[in-house]
Amino acid sequence: MENVNLMQQSNLYLLIALAVITVIFLVRLLSVLRIRKSLQQLRYFHFENITNDFMETKPRLSLNHNSDTVILLLHGFSSSVHEFDGLIKKLDENKINYYAPILTGFGLADVDLLCRIKYQDWIRDTENAYQLLRSKYKNVLVAGHSAGGALSMWLASKYHLPAIFITSPYVQIKNGHTYIHKLTRSSLLFDLIKLFHPIVSKSKTKNNKGVKRFVFDAVPLAAVKAVWDLTEVIDFKDLNETDVCLFTSVKDNTVIEADLLDLFNRSGIKYKHRSYEASGHNILEDAEKEAVVQELAEDLVKRVKGLN
């Protein structure tokens, strides 16, 4: 009888193990299919096999103008420098120097690097770009969108920059995500969570007037964790010497405008704020993009002329 019970227990454990393995396999399969679906939209861009990226996502650089000032442009999470095309056109028209590097893991034909990304990789990208420009120019202004806005604020807090220009900066974790972020601080729990939830789907944004957007709408959980971790290394109290030009949208579901303003006010940050009514998170490419780009460009040009 004992042997029968042992066999039944063994069979039960075996079935449980097989069930867990099956679930993990199905989750992995669905994740692969979801990523492939996300990458399908990249077929509209011009792929370069030798570099595994696209013509549209190459770094943007213009240092041809006689000026002591240059602008560092930092793009947002899961996007690329492509989102700055409208702004760059305005900077070119006004003969403004700029450099827009591509952050590690983005602008590529796959998300392999994002599966192992850490926030330090983006900090390093930002630091290297800033130091490179600082070695040649007296003044370096910084403009960033979303996670690029967070990197702009980190840079400003470290080097006490006189001014930064940020659109929809992702600098605090939404209330609904704080618990899962706490769990990911444990490497063991994080690895366990990744087994059953390796991919995070982002809210889809429809293109406006046929505009092509280069953006991953499904990303590895490791990349999301890196963005969360990035918000925790910004010292907001060290930003009280920096003038912040802030651009946000009322309908942004990623960066809640009211919560962001409350954070800025509590931190004693000096900021000039422009709010838009009809745009989502990426206000540089959404319904009010012409107004956003125009006003952002005007602020940048005015600041550059004041420094030269």
Alpha helices in the chain (DSSP H): 2-40, 85-93, 119-134, 147-159, 178-184, 187-196, 221-231, 257-267, 289-307
Q: Which residues pair with 145 in a beta bridge?
A: 167
Each residue's pLDDT tens digit, 148-203: 999 999 999 999 998 999 999 999 998 878 878 888 888 888 888 887 778 888 76
Domain ranges for the chain = 38-307
Q: What is the pLDDT of residue 208?
A: 47
Q: What is the pLDDT of residue 11?
A: 66
Lowest mean pLDDT among 58-67, 178-187, 273-282: 178-187
**Confidence class of residue 306 from pLDDT cuts 50, 70 and 90?**
confident
Q: What is the mean pLDDT of residues 93-108?
A: 97
Percent of the chain with pLDDT over 90: 66
Q: Is 209 left (phi over 0), alpha (psi -120 to 50) or beta?
A: left
Distance, in Å, from the CA atom of 167 to the CA atom of 148, rounded to the nearest integer, reads 9
Rounded to 5 degrees, what angle do the CA atoms 50, 55, 58 make? Answer: 90
Distance, in Å, from the CA atom of 87 to the CA atom of 109, rounded to the nearest integer, reads 24
Q: What is the pLDDT of residue 176?
A: 78
Distance, in Å, from the CA atom of 250 to the CA atom of 288, rounded to the nearest integer, reads 12
Q: pTM, whole model, 2 decimals?
A: 0.88
Distance, in Å, from the CA atom of 60 to the CA atom of 85, rounded to the nearest integer, reads 9
Q: Which CATH superfamily is domain 38-307 in?
A: Alpha/Beta hydrolase fold, catalytic domain (3.40.50.1820)
